Amino acid sequence: MDEATTRLLKEGNQARIDGDYAKARPMLQEAVDASPDVAECYWALGHVLINVGDFDEGIETFDRAVELEPGNQRFIVDLAKSLEMLGEFERARPLLEKVLELDSNTREAEEARKSLSYY
C-alpha cells in the first residue's frame, strides 16, 4: 500500500471511530479502490456500511476482508457479529467456531464463545 493510501486508511478509520461516516465512507472506498488486496481497507469500510444501514454491502465487504485474511480473528468476529445483528445465526455460527479453531486464547475467541453460548 502506498503512502497516500495508508494516509487515507488512517484518516478514514479515525473518522469511522469518531462516528463521522459521511467523511469516512468516501475515504475508505478510495483506499479499497487503490489497494484492492488489503483486507484492512475492506474491514474498515464494512464497519461504515453496517453503521449507515447498508447491510448487504457491509456483509459483502466484511466477507472480502475475511477472504483476503482468512486467519484474522477480528475480521471474522466482526463479520459474524454483523450477521447475528441481522438474525443470520446459522451463517454466523461456523465463523465463530472458526475463530475458536484458529486460537482459543484470544479476546476474539472469548467474544466467539460468548456469542455461541446464546445459540
Q: What is the pLDDT of residues 110-119, one digit of tens each?
A: 999 999 999 8
pLDDT score for 106: 98
* 3-state secondary structure string across the chain: CCHHHHHHHHHHHHHHHCCCHHHHHHHHHHHHHHCCCCHHHHHHHHHHHHHCCCHHHHHHHHHHHHHHCCCCHHHHHHHHHHHHHCCCHHHHHHHHHHHHHHCCCCHHHHHHHHHHCCC
CATH code of 1-69, in short, is 1.25.40.10
CB-CB contact of 55 with 77 (8 Å): no
pLDDT score for 119: 87
pLDDT score for 91: 97
Which distant-in-sequence residues (6+ apart) come within 8 Å of 35 by Cβ?
A: 1, 2, 5, 9, 41
Which residues in the chain show pLDDT less than 70? none
Residue ranges covered by each domain of the chain? 1-69, 70-119
pLDDT score for 15: 98
pLDDT score for 65: 98
CB-CB contact of 55 with 68 (8 Å): no
